[in-house]
Structure 1
Amino acid sequence: MADKKGLSYRARRRWALVVLLIGLPLYIMVATTLAGRLSEYSVLLQLVVFVVLGIIWIVPFKPLFRGIGQPDPDAPKDQ
């Protein structure tokens, strides 16, 4: 068996599920609280903050989500 780097496909799927079901709602609560504190500033600044916060959460998780929607590459080929 070849030595693999990183998480297996199944482990990445499970961690992706944890991130989506637990991590993302927590991040949304923090992001909306932060953006809510900017209510006295302009709408354009609020929009920029929401766009940046809406994109930046995925940056550390990009390798985790890569290829999750594809079939399991480790599964036997006869399935």
Structure 2
Amino acid sequence: MALSYRSRKRLALLILVIGMPLYVVVAVNVVDWANARFGRLPILAELAVFIGLGLMWALPFRRIFRGIGQPDPDQPQDKNE
């Protein structure tokens, strides 16, 4: 079942407003836990971990975000514009 453009737009907004901040909090807590458990990583390794975590959240949602910035394809086009 494919989501409509409007549903995908609302879901993308929900993910960005609620899901993204929650994911950031979880990612920072995981890195802090790893620092406390195993000691601080070198700065480049820590940077790599944060970049990896930053990319990892978007992979499951790429189909939802694809085409959101474009005009609604379901709406009829006005040829006078």
Both structures adopt the same fold (TM-score exceeding 0.5) = yes
The residue number in structure 2 matching 1:15 is 11
Report the structure, 1 or 2, having the larger helix content.
2
Q: TM-score, normalised by structure 1?
A: 0.86
Offset at 1:41? 2.1
Please list every run of at least 4 consecutive aligned residues from structure 1 whose deviation after the TM superposition is greater than 4 angstroms: none
Q: Is there any run of 5+ residues in structure 1 with no aligned partner, and where?
A: none
Offset at 1:36? 1.9
> Residues 30-60 of structure 1, C-alpha deviation per residue, up to 9 Å, x if partnerless?
0111122344222122111101001111000
Size of the alignment, in residue pairs? Answer: 75
RCO higher in structure (CA 8 A, sep ≥6): 2
| Identity percentage of aligned residues | 49
Q: Is residue 12–residue 64 contact of structure 1 (8 Å, CA) maintained in 2?
A: yes
